Amino acid sequence: MFVATLPHRIQIHPAYSFNHLIKQVQNEFYSFLEHTHYPLLQILQDLDYKHSSAAFLNILFDFITYSSDTDLLSINQAQFQPVPLKQKQNVIKFDMKLLFFHDPTVKNQTISCSLICSEDVYDIETVEELSKQFQHLLSQLFVKHSSSTKTTSFDLVNQPISKLSFCLQNEPKEIQQTIFHRLPNIKNEGPASYAQSRIWFDERIRFDRDKSQVAINNMPFLYRLHSQHTLSTTQLHHALQLILTKHQSLRTSIIFDNETNKLIQRIIDTNDHTRKLFTFIESTFETDEQLHTIMYDEKYNSQLFHLDQDLAFRCHILYYKQISSNNLLCDKDRIIFNFHHVLFDFPSMKIFLHDLNQAYATNQLPVNHNTDLRYLD
């Protein structure tokens, strides 16, 4: 049997509820279900797809509905029933397989699940840790937790999924007690991290650089001032320079070394005045449609960032109707901070805004190399 499988990407918003996520997945599934009969080879030909030897993620998810009544066997007047084995030996062609079993015929309907992993990829400790984390996640979603004062449960409709945690009970204490420090044997260059490599290679596997493509790792954040507030663009530009001086991850280039055949990250020296550390541009808009178009370009334009040149951050100033003559932003103007995901994530935004406020207000930003961690560490 030939199964045509192509990965389908969806973006999960941390502020959405679990129910919203389920509906989102359901709608996405139904949207492409009607096209699943189309042969895979024909799809690739229509897309003028260039074959890649890179394999897709070998992960299988399956939901199985069965009836326990069919497990009963009767021969003449002798009744038989299956005997469960304490340990099942599974041979699978996937690196990981997550199976859910549902029996609608029993009185108290329950769903059981089984996590099966290949020994070629996972060791027993990793599988046990994954199963505990998954069980903890399910417990948060569907189990009511009682205390001396009240009984609580996760609100599937209203609570954001960002409130869910994969950390087990003993893990937060371990994280808090962990002391991080600079690695003494690493200076300004080293191998790219696993996450950086995954993002970097993913862009090159899925997209043809010789053709127009849609970016999938741009992270733009749109802001406006409160009424009757102003902001100096000159002072803002200087504050951003202070931030890039402190946070080396924002001035780190990602380069593929052809000699060693490895992806490396290299921190750019701030004393190198020939290098442009970030993009700072100004433009105008008049309508919401124009603002939406600009924001769309910031989100999906693949030419905005050049990781090999250390351009992974940009600030886009949007003036309403005309550029200010006194370099001041008002409440009608907009600011877009845009980052590439290979060097930035959503939790980092809180740190960025905190340091931006300090750098803008005090015109300085202390640098402590013992506490400021880098991807290299």
CATH number of 190-362: 3.30.559.10
Distance between CA atoms of residues 207 and 20, nearest Å: 30
**Is the Cβ–Cβ distance between 315 and 335 less than 8 Å?**
yes
Angle ∠(72,77,81) on CA atoms, nearest 5: 20
Amino acid 56: pLDDT: 56
Other CB atoms within 10 A of residue 196 CB: 20
Strands 313-320 and 334-340 turn out to be antiparallel
Mark residue 293 as left, alpha or beta (left: phi above 0; alpha: psi -120 to 50; beta: remaining).
alpha
Report which of 313, 295, 296 is spatially closest to residue 304, judged by C-alpha positions. 313
The list of the chain residues with pLDDT below 50 reads 1-2, 54, 371, 377
Q: pLDDT tens across 143-172, in order?
A: 877 666 666 677 878 888 888 887 777 666
- Within 10 Å of residue 32's Cβ, how many Cβ atoms? 11
The string of pLDDT tens digits covering residues 167-196 is 777 666 665 555 555 555 556 778 888 788
Which sequence spans correspond to the domains of the chain?
190-362
Structure-token match 């989100």, residue found: 299
Place of tokens 């229509």: 46
239, 237, 227, 250: which is closest to 357 by C-alpha? 239
Say if pTM beats, i.e. exceeds, 0.75: no
Whole-number Cα distances in Å, 304 to 42, 68, 200, 211, 315: 33, 57, 15, 15, 11
How far is the C-alpha of 376 from the C-alpha of 192, rounded, in Å?
A: 8
Q: What is the pLDDT of residue 377?
A: 44
The answer to whether the CB of 165 falls within 8 A of the CB of 134 is: no
Instruction: Provide the phi-psi class of 266: left if phi over 0, else alpha when psi is between -120 and 50, else beta.
Output: beta
Residue 1 pLDDT: 41
